[in-house]
Amino acid sequence: MSKALSYHYRTMMKTNRLLFEKVTICEKKREGRNEPEKPSLNITDSLIYASYIQRALLPSNLSFLELLPDSFVFFKPKEIVSGDFYWIGKNCDKVYIVAADCTGHGVPGAFISMIGIELLNKTILDLKIDKPSDILTNLSKGIHRTFHYGTEEAAILKNGMEMGICSIDRSKQTIEFAGSYHPLYIIRNNNIIKINGDRITVGISGNSNFTNNIFQILEGDVVYMFSDGYVDQFGGPDDKKFMYKRFRQLLLSICGFPKNEQHRILHETIKEWAGKREQVDDILVIGFSI
């Protein structure tokens, strides 16, 4: 078992033990009241339990900040568990950041996200594949094999994910980026540089080739990775989507603020925009400077 998988295994086991203790206490209280179990409550309890397992697989805020000190992660699942996920890790002298959006949200998306996280651990930490485009290609092959594409069920489900992957080489002050639909934004001198991802879904085809982009990072640059949940949120006075234009204007207005302040503004802005409307999708925005 790799060090990464061993760490996640220990974390999950610890989480499971704590949750088991909480569930046992709740069951004893319920038995004391002689209350019948309600199916809906059981389902909710199971989803909450699953969310703890999913959270245990995601990097903690501390581990994220250790590898990328000047950063934030705004993560707001639509439901108890999420189809969006993020990942960070180090391979040799490079730091890797991933923002991903799996097919669907809720339970179906969460299942795929857990597969994606473990494939990233294997691809980057174990196999030491270092080019973002090659990482996406290897992930695509792994998901394609996992869901046995070619069968009728896989054709109907079309499980996969869209994601962006960055690798940072601090010694060279460079970033490499490859994306599956997801773009990358770099704000430099109050202008947004947009690097598009390929229009290929990770996992649908096992023979996908992705474009690798490499560029210099300058002092003062701020980089953003995100899923489409923020821009697709309905709200405002006319009940319309937030849209990319408004999102870019928002990022330009906050990019000079401390990262924790950017997180707060993103949260308050989308909350005010949505009002009483239901959240339509999982939301993920990552911002960082080198």
Query: Is the pLDDT at 25 greater than 60, yes or no?
Result: no
Q: Please report how the helices 39-57 and 3-32 are oriented relative to each other, as an axis angle in degrees rounded to 10.
A: 160
Beta-bridged to residue 285, according to DSSP, are 74, 226
Q: With contact defined as beta carbons under 8 Å apart, do 288 and 223 qualify?
A: yes
Count other C-beta atoms under 10 Å from residue 172's C-beta: 12
- Write out pLDDT tens, residues 220-253: 999 999 999 999 999 999 999 999 999 999 999 9
What confidence score (pLDDT) does residue 11 get?
A: 45
Give 159's pLDDT tier (boundaries 50, 70, 90).
low
- Residue matched to tokens 């080019």: 131
Mean pLDDT confidence for 123-138:
95
Q: Please, what are the domains in the chain?
A: 1-57 (no CATH), 58-288 (3.60.40.10)
pTM recorded for the entire structure: 0.83
2: pLDDT strictly greater than 50: no
Select the more confidently predicted residue: 147 or 257: 257
Q: How confident is the model at residue 109 (pLDDT cuts 50, 70, 90)?
A: confident
Question: Residue 35 in 3-state DSSP?
Answer: coil
Summary mean pLDDT of the chain: 85
pLDDT of 33 over the 60 cut: no
Tens-place pLDDT, residues 163-211: 999 999 999 999 999 999 999 999 999 999 999 999 998 987 667 789 9
